[in-house]
Amino acid sequence: MAHIADLLASGRTYSFEFFPPKTDEEQATLTRTLHELEPLRPSFVSVTYRGGPASRRRTFNVVTGMLHVTTLVPMAHLVCAGHRRLELAEILVEYRRAGIENLMALGGDPPADAEASPSELAHAVELVELARVIGGFSIGVAAHPAGHPASPDLASDRAFLAAKLELADFAVTQFFFDADQYRGLVDDLDRRGMRKPVVPGIMPVTSLGSVGRMAQMGSPVPAWARERLEAAAAAGGDAAVRSEGVAMATELCQELLDAGAPGLHFYTLNRSTATREIYRSLGLAPALPAAAG
């Protein structure tokens, strides 16, 4: 399997993120989305994980299924929360035996799963250290352009990120809406002597209802963006809001690429349409063979 660190070293990457389905309906949606996005030939894809036995198996099944029945390069998310150290080691070994060699190491939120174990590792850097002991992984970590919500201040958050990146291979950011935040993050790391790739995360706003949820996730939509979305809603309703959100995300992507970002990582929410529209607007969609007949 290709290592994401090697892919980043050889050029820009374009990647998609999915979450594991909980129901047959969600499985059907994910299967359709993968079928629609695979022709875009992403550099890699990632699958999220919340912790606990149920999420563990769902993520494992999706990631290994991608490895064996698609052309995609999958990356498994793993979190410290809800696991003892030995459990995490067992999960890492299971992934290596299954042929999974790309890992996103995260601290994670406390799992809702009542069967989850007490957390023994407090921070993602400890999980990175454990994965290095197991060996064979290309390891990514999370970065927050505006700072992690749990960090006391931005300076300490950046110092902790730099320490994680000393052991990891690359970072992927939480989604954001202002390219200056990304540039500030990369410049700060550069001043600290840390120049490993930091891939910006992109999530287009497709409804006014999602604005509040994004703030709860630690990435509030800025005032100027809300104004654009509200103006679109007044002019054309929900469809216009979605169109404006995709346009803003496309503008952000182009600005990031122009600034030298090492790639783009799209949070798809297991849907394909917005990502495909942004791809087309950026001229990233590969030329596909003409249909027969």
Structure tokens at 240: 């216009």
How far apart are the two ends of the chain, measured CA to CA in Å? 35
DSSP 292: P
Alpha-carbon dihedral of residues 86, 111, 138, 161, nearest 10 degrees? Answer: -110
Is 17 a residue of the active site? yes
CB hemisphere CA count around 17 (13 angstroms): 20
SS3 230: helix
**Taking the CA of residue 20 as centre, how many other CA atoms within 13 Å lie in the half-sphere pointing to its CB?**
24
> H helices within the chain, ranges in order?
4-10, 24-37, 53-69, 85-98, 124-134, 154-167, 179-191, 209-216, 223-258, 273-282
3-state secondary structure of 77: strand
Rg (alpha carbons) of the chain, rounded to whole number: 19
Q: Per the residue annotation, which of 17, 126, 244, 277 is the catalytic one?
A: 17
CA atoms within 13 A on the CB side of 70: 24
Catalytic residues: 17
